[in-house]
Structure 1
Amino acid sequence: MSKRYILGIDNGGTNTKAAIYDMSGKELAVSSRGTKMLTPRPFFTERSIPELIEATIEVIKNAINKSGVDPEAIVGVSCTGHGNGLYLMGEEFTPVRNGIISTDSRAIDYIDKWYQEKGFEEKIHPLTMSSVWAGQPVALLAWLKDNEPEMIDRTKYIFMVKDLVRYYLTGKATLEITDISGTNLINLKTKNYDDDIFDFFDILDWKDKLPPLVNSTEEAGKISKKMAELTGLVEGTPVAGGVFDIASSAVATGLVNDNQLAIVTGTWSINEYITSEPKAEADLFMTSIYPIEDKWLVTEASPTSASNLEWFINTFLANQPITTGQSIYDYCNDLVCDTTVDEGQLLFFPFIFGSNSIADATSGFVGINSYHELKHFVRAIYEGVIFSHMYHIEKLRTFNLNLEGAARIAGGITNSDVWLQMFSDALGIPLEIVTVKESGTLGTAMAAAVMLGEYPSFVEAADEMIHVAKIIEPDLEKTKVYRKKYTKYADVVDNMASPWKIMNES
């Protein structure tokens, strides 16, 4: 039998990727393209849907060409993408408006109102098992109903980003269940839509715009003739439901056992473990459906991770002269290596796109004096991102006392040995790095492999397709220093509540 391949597609907030794998998880080719984040007003983060689809077509074509694989041998396709946000479609593949990315916070006032209502914690949270925040569909739909009500009649389908891409690829409208389980739009006990939820959020007018639900490894459509012509894929190629991005990255680290910590670094600080017992705790960010049967993903997350470095580079280092052949990331690593863990005592709060502690919190440096140079600011960013992850991980450990041992880590930070070592030192635990370059695309491609019957489930797929490449061991002497620094970070965050509130007053 000739060799068979699978294609994974990943649409993040500002980047689109496609990668081709064989059934052992070996990456043959990957292609990526950036997309613009649009900020038409403060606190709005949007994107052009036509640009998104154009980018997706481009990266699929490029990945196929780079791989040298006969498109006939690409036997399955699957998508992932950033969770939450909102993508509205009208008739005949016509976008109703710009897509909204999950870092959007225009609807923050709705969050305060809902949390003050008695019914949320008593009735709604036990059903959805998720906190509610401004970038979720429920908040955005409520905001649109009040501010752009004409969108309701113009909308035929409500999508998450990966489901939108799958709709364009196949012409079939569905929502995949791991993704939608993290949006407050479904009852996690019944695994279906629930009028009580829509009534509470006052978005019942939108309910009939939601497509049917499908599972991760279920065939959710086939590549259409039009998209076959545009992408180079073969018409009729089956497309799996796909996977919520946080779950996709988790399975791509090999997270298939209970009580193991997984960390994903990107736009969002994602910290998670899987369990057989779903949790609906008031202080927990989210419990969502995992693509392994009878497993749930318990997550603490916020948009406070490595994207803060991207922002700093784009804002302050865009014209920085660097050595020929050296990347800007190598340059940042070198700056950090020219400092020590106990040097400078400069703190950075990584809240450029939102906070994981105080609703009014904004980003910034604290402790600046004439001693500090660029290298200290870059180190503070590295550490601030780590401390944000630690804040989440400490909360997870209050819910799971067995969350010990080495952690699996994925995402952009794995490209920096310097940052990885700092992570391990600060957490005081080993970090396991798997032989995966693009966790999002591989994790969702695994759904296609299971759909095709190559593996019975994600458990067997992970055993064959995921392997640990190296283990980072912590320097426990540095762990002591980082612990003191983290305590200081947490204390300053708590004491900044009042100043941040003042700064956000109109």
Structure 2
Amino acid sequence: MAWGGFHLENGNELAFITANKIRSIGITGQGEGVWLVDKQGRPVRNAILWSDTRSAALVEYFKQQPGLEEQLFAISGTPLLPCNSSMILRWLQQYEPETLVQADCFFFAKDWIRYQLTGESWLEISDTGTSLLDLQCGELSNEVLSQLGITHTAQLFLPLLPSAAIAGHITTQIAQITGLEVGIPVCAGALDVSATALGIGAVNHGDVYTILGTTCCTGIVCHDLKRINRQTRFVPHALSGNYVNLFALQSGTPNIDWALSQLTDSKDFLQTSSQLEAVPAGCGGVFYQPYINGERASFYSPSARAGFFGISQHTTDSHLLRAVFEGLAYAITDSLADYPAGGRLYLAGGGAASSLWLQIIADRTGREVVTRQVKELVI
């Protein structure tokens, strides 16, 4: 059903592109989660997304094991989190072992799409590097699997490709559906946050960027795996030889979506700009903590919840709404607390369309914000 929807929506969009102008295709998508398929390439269950927290109790159990999280971080570059594919695989082993028996391999989101386009099955290093690889050598870590008690899942892992490698070519069937030419090369692609770094130009050591989207994810490009903060994590950059030091809020724009639904008649935050501009910075003393679904950066607490502070009899809906935007800007600032102040902050994502929010972020972080004119840096 989902793949059929992809045909309909994106096939129509491709009709506006001259087919012979497309020379190659790159794919990106949301990270982590697990997409399990059988030997015929059919899903054995619904995908489990990164935002699913069903493994939270298991995460807490492993966090209580002395020294384990530090040991795993030294290998994989990530703390223990419910979003980790490694923890989701552990949950499946414990609660749905029959699902793993049915599965022949697993994909990440973009890998599934690439498989449909090419018929070729691969994993790619930036996605797999979110919790399952030894980042020093770029290979599957048997030690991570062993420590989490999921060694037998190693048989589900497909061969790895770097982001820029050619993973296959457009098949005849896909050409008929989309109008694309048969044989167009399709590269392995990259995790969304890694691909965005490349697309926005954050490619040099020390470059900082934030994706104003579902997670409001902040990344710092680096050449090494030096840990600055306990809640940081590392993933491979789309540009080989580099890493991204990530601080991904559990929820970014969902805070805004909630506020719009409760405080306005609009679902489009851009339509509220004039309303918010009328509210002075500081929102009359109102402060918002953006933990609507818990938090994972710059601290870990799945039970944390959002809240307003400083409400008085003079507080209006507009104060509350602007406080949500400012609260997210403060959270982004917290993510950068252990890094040198000043410099540029590249901004991407749907939220970058709001000049007001860009100004709020610039004011809170003390950085020069830079955006691109391209509407979608990665698709």
**Same-fold call, TM > 0.5?**
yes
Does the 8 Å contact 1:405/1:429 carry over to 2? Answer: yes
**Number of paired residues?**
376
Q: Per the alignment, do residues 162 and 152 of structure 1 end up closer, same or farther by CA in structure 2, a change over 3 Å counting?
A: same
Scaled by the length of structure 1, the TM-score of the pair is 0.71
**Per-residue Cα deviation, 1:110-153 (whole angstroms, up to 9, x for no partner):** 11122221242453221111112101111111111111111011
Give the superposition deviation at 1:316. Answer: 5.3
Q: Per the alignment, do residues 282 and 414 of structure 1 end up closer, same or farther by CA in structure 2, a change over 3 Å counting?
A: closer
Check if 1:410 corresponds to 2:360: no
| Amino acid across the alignment from 1:331 | Q
SS at match of 1:422: helix
Give 1:124's aligned residue: 72
Give 2:180's aligned residue: 233
Alpha-carbon distance in structure 1 between the residues aligned to 2:261 and 2:29: 23
Alpha-carbon distance in structure 2 between the residues aligned to 1:263 and 1:93: 35
Give the superposition deviation at 1:180. Answer: 1.2
Check if 1:181 corresponds to 2:129: yes
SS at match of 2:370: strand
Check if 1:93 corresponds to 2:36: no
For 1:331-370, what aligned pairs fall within 5 Å after superposition?
331-355=271-295, 356=297, 357-359=299-301, 360-370=303-313
For 1:406-445, what aligned pairs fall within 5 Å after superposition?
406-441=344-379
Give 1:17's aligned residue: none
Give 1:145's aligned residue: 93
* Counterpart pick for 1:63 among 9, 13, 24: 13
Give the superposition deviation at 1:253. Answer: 1.2
* Counterpart pick for 1:166 among 101, 111, 114: 114
Check if 1:72 corresponds to 2:20: yes
Give 1:217's aligned residue: 164
Does the 8 Å contact 2:196/2:377 carry over to 1? Answer: yes
Alpha-carbon distance in structure 2 between the residues aligned to 1:358 and 1:273: 19
Q: Per the alignment, do residues 114 and 256 of structure 1 end up closer, same or farther by CA in structure 2, a change over 3 Å counting?
A: same
Alpha-carbon distance in structure 2 between the residues aligned to 1:313 and 1:404: 32
* Counterpart pick for 1:304 among 219, 232, 251: 251
5+ long unaligned stretches in structure 1: 1-49, 442-506
**Per-residue Cα deviation, 1:38-94 (whole angstroms, up to 9, x for no partner):** xxxxxxxxxxxx32x233323431222223x1x233121111111111211123232
SS at match of 1:262: strand
Scaled by the length of structure 2, the TM-score of the pair is 0.93
After TM superposition, the runs of 4+ consecutive aligned structure 1 residues lying more than 6 A away are none
* Counterpart pick for 1:374 among 317, 341, 360: 317
| Amino acid across the alignment from 2:348 | A
Does the 8 Å contact 2:169/2:183 carry over to 1? Answer: yes
Alpha-carbon distance in structure 1 between the residues aligned to 2:305 and 2:283: 24
Alpha-carbon distance in structure 2 between the residues aligned to 1:283 and 1:177: 23
Check if 1:250 corresponds to 2:197: yes
Alpha-carbon distance in structure 1 between the residues aligned to 2:148 and 2:324: 37
Give the % identical residues.
24
**Per-residue Cα deviation, 1:420-464 (whole angstroms, up to 9, x for no partner):** 1111111122111122211223xxxxxxxxxxxxxxxxxxxxxxx
Alpha-carbon distance in structure 1 between the residues aligned to 2:262 and 2:197: 31
Alpha-carbon distance in structure 2 between the residues aligned to 1:384 and 1:282: 21
Check if 1:272 corresponds to 2:219: yes
Give the superposition deviation at 1:219. Answer: 0.5
Give the superposition deviation at 1:367. Answer: 2.9
| Amino acid across the alignment from 1:267 | T
Q: Per the alignment, do residues 151 and 259 of structure 1 end up closer, same or farther by CA in structure 2, a change over 3 Å counting?
A: same
**Per-residue Cα deviation, 1:87-107 (whole angstroms, up to 9, x for no partner):** 111232321111122111111
Does the 8 Å contact 1:129/1:279 carry over to 2? Answer: no
Give 1:13's aligned residue: none
Does the 8 Å contact 1:156/1:209 carry over to 2? Answer: yes
Alpha-carbon distance in structure 1 between the residues aligned to 2:87 and 2:262: 30
SS at match of 1:263: strand
Check if 1:392 corresponds to 2:341: no
Q: Per the alignment, do residues 238 and 332 of structure 1 end up closer, same or farther by CA in structure 2, a change over 3 Å counting?
A: same
Give 2:150's aligned residue: 203
Alpha-carbon distance in structure 1 between the residues aligned to 2:164 and 2:49: 25
Give the superposition deviation at 1:194. Answer: 2.1
Does the 8 Å contact 1:130/1:280 carry over to 2? Answer: no
Alpha-carbon distance in structure 2 between the residues aligned to 1:364 and 1:224: 51
Does the 8 Å contact 1:305/1:389 carry over to 2? Answer: no
Give the superposition deviation at 1:280. Answer: 4.4
SS at match of 1:249: helix
Q: Per the alignment, do residues 137 and 333 of structure 1 end up closer, same or farther by CA in structure 2, a change over 3 Å counting?
A: same
Alpha-carbon distance in structure 2 between the residues aligned to 1:278 and 1:84: 20
Does the 8 Å contact 2:205/2:221 carry over to 1? Answer: yes
Q: Per the alignment, do residues 119 and 200 of structure 1 end up closer, same or farther by CA in structure 2, a change over 3 Å counting?
A: farther
**Per-residue Cα deviation, 1:212-257 (whole angstroms, up to 9, x for no partner):** 1001110011112222222222222111010111111111111122
Give the superposition deviation at 1:181. Answer: 1.0
Give the superposition deviation at 1:203. Answer: 1.4
Alpha-carbon distance in structure 1 between the residues aligned to 2:83 and 2:182: 35
| Amino acid across the alignment from 1:60 | N
Alpha-carbon distance in structure 2 between the residues aligned to 1:343 and 1:158: 47
